[in-house]
Amino acid sequence: MPLGQLWAQPKNFWNVLAEVHFLKKKDAGGFVVEVPQFSQHLRSYQAKKIRLKGYVIPVSESGSGKFMLSMLPINVCYFCGAAGPETVVEVDTTEQIEFTTQAIVLEGVLKLNPTDPDRHIYILEKARRVTQGSD
């Protein structure tokens, strides 16, 4: 596959991200934690370039290039209690992406995170904004 070409993906990739369930396990400290179990189909996108349309959820006021992208607008997003963790993706980008209440489209490399409790289960690395026309 030529560099920069998108991996073939369904038009609504949020449906693929929903292919996860959680198992309760005890961690090294004896605390019960929920560990994500990704479907084989979802695991096939690990380290592949994907495209997601969603809503910016700021996590700091610094504009640091880290934020969350939600399938749902901020008033019904995961952090407000109306949806599950499969409806948001942690975003790492080197470009400045301004906050907007309108949906945007991002392209980046998907990282599945089953083990690091300090990061989200989905991380979009090397993300960049693409125009709505390329959605």
- Domain with 19, as residue range(s), is 14-134
Residue 17 CB coordination number (10 Å): 24
| Measured distance CA(29)–CA(92) in Å, rounded | 29
Residue 2: inside a domain: no
Residue range 44-88, pLDDT digits in tens:
999 999 999 999 988 776 556 689 999 988 776 665 666 788 999
Number of domains making up the chain: 1
Residue 3: inside a domain: no
Residue range 84-127, pLDDT digits in tens:
889 999 999 988 888 888 999 999 999 999 999 889 999 999 99
Residue 6: inside a domain: no
Whether the pLDDT of residue 1 is over 70: the answer is no
Q: Which two tokens stand for residue 39?
A: 């479907």
Q: What is the CATH number of the domain that holds 80?
A: 2.40.50.140
For the entire predicted model, the pTM comes to 0.84
Whether the pLDDT of residue 131 is over 90: the answer is no
Residue 1: inside a domain: no
